[in-house]
Amino acid sequence: MINKSKLLSAAVIATAAFMASPSHADTMNTPNISAMSIMNGLENPWDMAFTSGGDMFYTEKCKGLSVKTSSGSVNALAGMKDAKGYASSNDDLFCSGQAGMMGVALDPNFNKNRRIYVASTSSKYHGSGCKTNFEKCDGNIIMRMEVSKDMKSVSNRVDIVKDIQYKPFESNHPFGGPGAHNGNRLRFGPDGYLWATTGDRHRGVVPQSPKLLGGNVLRIDTDGKAHPANKPPRGFDKRMYTYGHRNVQGIDFRPSDGRAFTAEHGPWHNDEITALVNGGNAGWDPKPNVAGRGKCPDKYCGYMPNQKEGMLPAARAEAGTPMSDERFKDLMPPAWNNNGLSQGTGSAAFLKGSNWGYWEGRMAVGIMGIGFGGTPSGMRIDVVDIAKDGKSIKSVIHMPTGLTKRFRGLRLGPDGALYAAVDEGEIYKITAAK
């Protein structure tokens, strides 16, 4: 069931997301926004991580891991198969479709241990089903490496998670090629543990599976072991913090209380921002015969009739597979559903620092702009004011960056600026000033 009260009329949602009506005092404290390209000519930049001194590590999906130092030099560190110019190569790492080298995070004790963590697609642990059944194809890993003090190389690779599934074959789905719905954002939480997001791989049984690591948020230590306080349902993999997700590409932690929030894509309806609950279910269950599609490739009815031309987004949400199925007793209800639209909501970062004015503490959400079946294109950054209980929002404001880009990765830098990686091959520095 979908809460119709959360959906706006087609006339409203076709033009813009819900906009706040700030008070006069808030208006006086509205930050002035400017955006500047700091890197260009990149190939699908995906994620970033910063040292306290301002060095920026970044991934390119089909190339590898590099760093732009605080002095301005750029060093290519760890390359994927066939990538040129990197200090080290990894022949098992590859990219395909939506998969490749993606999330990156620095150890909270990086200044001492020099450790960096990277999520990537790998052939090293492929199982027997990689040609026919991806439940037997472990194609995604999380690596731990050490960065040299001169920032010119990495060493001591250890694969701390080896069994995240990968979709290795083409199937009859929208965007249904190999690597679909791959997730793979990495962030360290305020608890000092590593959080990793995964996607459902276009397989109906995956999000609700107790053992498959797709459609999850994992919370693990730096060796890949489960946080001892994780509370998944009995019989589930202990590394799971939450399950039942579709394709989480954004995760960050609210500064006021450290609570984890995710941002993820919907199936042509209902992108979502969700406050995570330990052991909770995001409610995505695209099994056969739950929507209107007669034939479900890979037993995955996660699209039809959602993408039918001429059907309003609200109607799609009612007719198709719900993003958050209310029949699950352990459901984590979303705080925001993008007014019933799916526009490629992905990366997310909470804004911190007085330079952000009355936006401080709010969540910046990158939207990539998918427009299909009457859905308006997005390509923007929204600033979302989430209620204290995490179950609703107070307002959404479009950040006036002056950019119309596919915002793939967002990360707050140590300087208080928001950094944005876009599919067009650039990284932007977005600054706010009162």
pLDDT (tens digit per residue) in 362-392: 999 999 987 766 677 889 999 999 999 999 9
Q: What is the mean pLDDT of residues 37-60?
A: 98
pTM of the model: 0.93
When mean pLDDT is compared across 140-149, 176-185, 214-223, 304-313, the lowest value belongs to 304-313
**Least confident stretch, 15-29, 220-234, 244-258:** 15-29
Mean of the pLDDT values across residues 69-77? Answer: 97
The yes-or-no verdict on residue 349 having pLDDT over 70 is yes
According to the model, what pLDDT value does residue 320 have? 72
Give the pLDDT of residue 340: 87
Rounded mean pLDDT, 232-258: 97
More confident residue, 36 or 266: 36
Whether 10 has a pLDDT exceeding 70, the answer reads: no
Instruction: In whole angstroms, give the CA distance from residue 424 to residue 41.
Output: 9
What pLDDT is stored for residue 128 in this prediction? 78
Which region among 15-24, 86-95, 222-231, 383-392 has the lowest average model confidence (pLDDT)? 15-24
DSSP 352-372: -SGGGGGGTTPEEEEE-----
d(CA 240, CA 260): 14
> Phi and psi of 166, rounded to 5°?
-135, 140
The pLDDT of residue 289 is 60
Taking residues 128-152, report their average pLDDT. 91
- The average pLDDT across 80-104 equals 97
Q: Which has more pLDDT, 369 or 244?
A: 244
Return d(Cα 357, Cα 93) in angstroms, integer.
42
- Rounded percentage of the chain residues whose pLDDT exceeds 70: 88
**If you average pLDDT over residues 146-174, what whole number do you get?**
95
The confidence score (pLDDT) of residue 175 equals 84
pLDDT (tens digit, 9 = 90+) per residue, 249-305? 999 999 999 999 999 998 878 999 999 999 999 999 998 766 555 677 888 888 765
Which band of pLDDT confidence, cut at 50, 70 and 90, is reported for residue 28? low
Of 77-91, 112-126, 371-385, the one with minimum mean pLDDT is 371-385
Long-range contacts (CB closer than 8 Å, 24 or more residues apart) made by 220-228: 220/160, 220/161, 220/193, 220/194, 220/196, 221/193, 221/194, 222/107, 222/115, 222/117, 222/144, 222/160, 222/194, 223/160, 224/142, 224/160, 224/161, 227/191, 227/193
Q: Is the pLDDT of residue 15 over 60?
A: no
Q: How far, in Å, CA of 381 to CA of 345, rounded?
A: 9
pLDDT at position 377 is: 80
Distance of alpha carbon 16 from alpha carbon 312, whole angstroms: 15
> What's the pLDDT at 305?
54
CATH number (domain holding residue 413): 2.120.10.30
Residue 407: CB atoms within 10 Å: 29
Over residues 171-189, the mean pLDDT reads: 92
In the chain, % helix, strand, coil (3-state, to 5) comes to 10, 35, 55
pLDDT at 14: 31
Identify the pLDDT of residue 61: 98
When pLDDT is averaged across residues 226-230 and rounded to a whole number, the result is 98
Question: Within its chain, how far is the Cα of 334 from the centroid?
Answer: 15
Average pLDDT over all residues of the chain: 89
Q: Which domain holds residue 32?
A: 4-433
CA-based nearest residue to 74, from 58, 50, 62: 58
Q: How many domains are there within the chain? A: 1
DSSP code at position 22? -
